[in-house]
Structure 1
Amino acid sequence: MGCCGDEEEEFLKHLMPNFSETLTLGSTSQASTSGDSDAVISPMNSHFSALTCQDVLRGIFERLPVADLARASCVCRVWNLVASDRGIQVRAFRAPWKLKDVVGIPSSGSFWRDNSLGKFAISHRLVRGDSVASLAVKYSVQINGHTTLLWVSLYLGGLLHAFKFDLGFLASYTVMDIKRLNNMMSDHGIYSRERLLIPVSKPDILINAICYIELDSYAKREVAVLYLEGGPDKKLNSLLNKVSSEQGRRRVIESLKRSMQIDDGTAQYYLSISNGDPRAAISEFSEDLRWERHAGLS
C-alpha cells in the first residue's frame, strides 16, 4: 500500500500523460522561477494539460465569484467558452445572496457580470391611495433596518417628536431611492404606472428567494425582481409589454414625421401600409411624391 504522495502522483499521471517529463522540466526551471512571486498559472505558460479540459475547468469555474469568472473568460477561447456557460453564470450570480433560483433570460450577457445589491428590486403593485412617500415609509423598515429605533421611540411615548423625525428621515431617504430606481422626475409619475420597483438594501430578504429577470419599460433598466407575494402578474407583464411596444411605435412615428415633414395621421398611414417597416414607409411616401409631381407636370 503506497503513501499519499504515490496516490497523488498516480492521479496526476492520468491528467498529464507527460507527467514525468513535466516533473523534470519543473525541477530544472524551479531555480529560475522561484524568485518570481507574481507567476500566474494559465494554459499559456503551464504544462498542466488539465487547464484545457472543459470538465476540469467547469469544476473550477463553478466555485468562482462573478468578478473572477469575468476575468477567467478573458484568458483564452476555451476558458471563455466554459465561463460563458449560462449554468455557471447563474450559479455565480446566485451564490453571494443564497438565492433559490433566477428565472428569465437577460437581453445581454453582461447582466450576469454585476450581482451587487443594486441589481435587485422588489415589485410593488400599485393600489388606490399609494404614494411614493407612503411606500417609502412602508418599505423603510425592510430597506434601512431601523425597526428597533422606530418601535422604541413609539413605546416611550415621550419621544414622539424623535419618532416623527426618524420616520421623516427614512421616508425622505427612500423617496429619492424609489424615484431614482423608477426613473421618476416627480411624484406625479406614479399615476401612469401599474407598479413601482422598490430598492433592496437588506440582503436577508433574498435568502431562498426566486427572482425574475425583467426589463421595466418605465424604469428603463433590467433588474432581478423579487415578488414578496406570489409571482409575476401575467396581465401586468402583458400590459408593460404593450406599453413598451406602444412607446416604440410612437417614437417611430415621431421620427417619420420629422424625416418626411408630414403630420401624425399621414405618418401612421404609411407605417401601417408598410407593415411597421420605417424604411418601407419612407419608400412608399417618396414613390407617392414622385407620382404626384409627375402627374402635376403632365
Structure 2
Amino acid sequence: MGCCCNEDDEDDILKTLITAAAAAAATIAGTVDASAVISPMNSNFSALISGDILRAIFERLAAHDLARSACVCRAWHAVASDREILVGAFKAPWKLREVVGSPSSTSFWRDNGLGRFAISHKLVRGDTVASLAVKYYVQVMDIKRLNNMMSDHGIYSRERLLIPISKPELLINGTCYIELDPYAKREVAVLYLDGIPIPGLSSLSGRAATNGGKRKVIDSMRRSMQVDESTAEYYWEVSNGDARAAFSEFSEDLRWERQVNPL
C-alpha cells in the first residue's frame, strides 16, 4: 500500500515507539532486554512487526500518532486499523466510558479534538440560539457554525441542536453516539446529558420509513456490530426500530457476556 507519511515522519514514529517496543517485547515475549535498542540494524527489529507487540505499543498511542503509524507498512496498518485500538485512542484523552456506532470512514478516529464532540439538545418551546448559548456557556456563532445555520430562524425547522462542548469534564465516564446529523451535515460524537438518546432524531432509524430503508439500517447495524443478520434483526426489534437504542442494548449485552465469561 502507499504511504501517507514522508521519511521524516517515519523516523519520528520509530523514535517515538522505540522504548515502548522494547518494553512490550520484554513483557510479551520475555526474550528481549527492555534496555535494548530496537532498530532495523539488529535482530530485535522483528519485534516491530509482531502483531502482539505492535498491539501492546499502539494501545498506548494518541490518535494522531496512531494514524501516522498506520502509514508505515502493511503490518502496522493492519494493527493500527483495528477498531478496538482506534476507539481506545479516541476515548482516552477524555476518559470516555463508551463510543457507540461506527463512522462512515475510519478517518473519523484520527481527530479526537473537543470539536469532534457535541451535546444533543432537544428543542422545546421558547428555546433560542441565544438562550442556549447562555445555558451551555458557548458562543452563538459556534452553535450556528456547528449546526450549519445561516440565521436564528433555522431553529424552527429542527427537533434538536448540536451544542459545542465547552466543559471537557462532561465527557468523563460518558457515552457518545456516532451520528451523521442531516442538518449539520457532519459526523459527530454526540453526548446526551441525560444519558438517553432521543428516538428518531438524526439516527439511522429515521431513514427507515420503508422496508428498503429498514433493510439498509439492519445491514449497517450488522456490519457495525460485526454480527450475523438474524442478530442484527433481533436488536432492531427489541429496540423498536431505534438504531441507537439497538447499539446500546447490544453493547450492554456484550459487556455482560465479557464479565461472565472473561476468557
Please tell me whether the aligned partners of residues 103 and 213 of structure 1 are also in contact (alpha carbons under 8 angstroms): yes
Give 1:32-181 correspondences, 5 Å limit.
44-48=40-44, 49-140=46-137, 143=138, 174-181=139-146
Distance 1:45 1:73, change over 3 A: farther
Query: Residue type of the partner of 1:210?
Result: T
Distance 1:122 1:128, change over 3 A: same
Please tell me whether the aligned partners of residues 123 and 161 of structure 2 are also in contact (alpha carbons under 8 angstroms): yes
Moved more, 63-72 or 212-221: 63-72
Query: Residue type of the partner of 1:234?
Result: P
Q: Distance in 1 between matches of 2:209 and 2:149?
A: 16
* Cα deviation digits, residues 180-199 of structure 1 (max 9, x gap): 00000000000000100000
Please tell me whether the aligned partners of residues 217 and 243 of structure 1 are also in contact (alpha carbons under 8 angstroms): no
Q: Distance in 1 between matches of 2:80 and 2:111?
A: 15
Q: How many residues align?
A: 181
The RMSD of aligned alpha carbons is 2.8
Q: Which residue of 2 aligns with 1:183?
A: 148
Q: Any idea what SS the aligned residue of 2:176 has?
A: strand
Query: Residue type of the partner of 2:91?
Result: R
Q: Which residue of 2 aligns with 1:222?
A: 187
Give 1:179-258 correspondences, 5 Å limit.
179-237=144-202, 241-242=206-207
Shift of residue 75, structure 1, vs aligned partner:
1.2
Shift of residue 243, structure 1, vs aligned partner:
10
Shift of residue 216, structure 1, vs aligned partner:
0.2
Distance 1:97 1:191, change over 3 A: same
Which stretches in structure 2 are left out of the alignment for 5+ residues?
A: 1-22, 211-263
Counting helix residues as a fraction of each chain, which structure ranks higher? 1
Distance 1:45 1:121, change over 3 A: farther
Please tell me whether the aligned partners of residues 96 and 172 of structure 2 are also in contact (alpha carbons under 8 angstroms): yes
Identity, in percent, stands at: 67
Shift of residue 50, structure 1, vs aligned partner:
1.6
The structure 1 segments of at least 4 consecutive aligned residues displaced by more than 3 Å after TM superposition are 237-245
Q: Distance in 2 between matches of 1:180 and 1:240?
A: 26
Q: Which residue of 2 aligns with 1:5?
A: none
Which stretches in structure 1 are left out of the alignment for 5+ residues?
A: 1-7, 20-25, 27-39, 144-173, 246-298
Query: Residue type of the partner of 1:128?
Result: R
Shift of residue 46, structure 1, vs aligned partner:
4.7
Q: Distance in 2 between matches of 1:74 and 1:46?
A: 23
Query: Residue type of the partner of 1:62?
Result: E
Q: Distance in 2 between matches of 1:239 and 1:193?
A: 17
Shift of residue 41, structure 1, vs aligned partner:
5.3
Give TM-score scaled by structure 2 length.
Answer: 0.63
Distance 1:182 1:76, change over 3 A: same
Shift of residue 135, structure 1, vs aligned partner:
0.7
Please tell me whether the aligned partners of residues 179 and 203 of structure 2 are also in contact (alpha carbons under 8 angstroms): no
* Cα deviation digits, residues 163-195 of structure 1 (max 9, x gap): xxxxxxxxxxx1101000000000000000010
Q: Distance in 1 between matches of 2:116 and 2:140?
A: 18
Rg comparison, structure with higher value = 1
* Cα deviation digits, residues 42-101 of structure 1 (max 9, x gap): 5x5553212111011100100011111111111110011000000000000000000011
Q: Distance in 2 between matches of 1:80 and 1:207?
A: 29
Query: Residue type of the partner of 2:99?
Result: V
Q: Distance in 2 between matches of 1:46 and 1:234?
A: 57
* Cα deviation digits, residues 10-31 of structure 1 (max 9, x gap): x69x677xx8xxxxxx9xxxxx
Please tell me whether the aligned partners of residues 132 and 178 of structure 1 are also in contact (alpha carbons under 8 angstroms): yes
Q: Distance in 1 between matches of 2:208 and 2:185?
A: 12
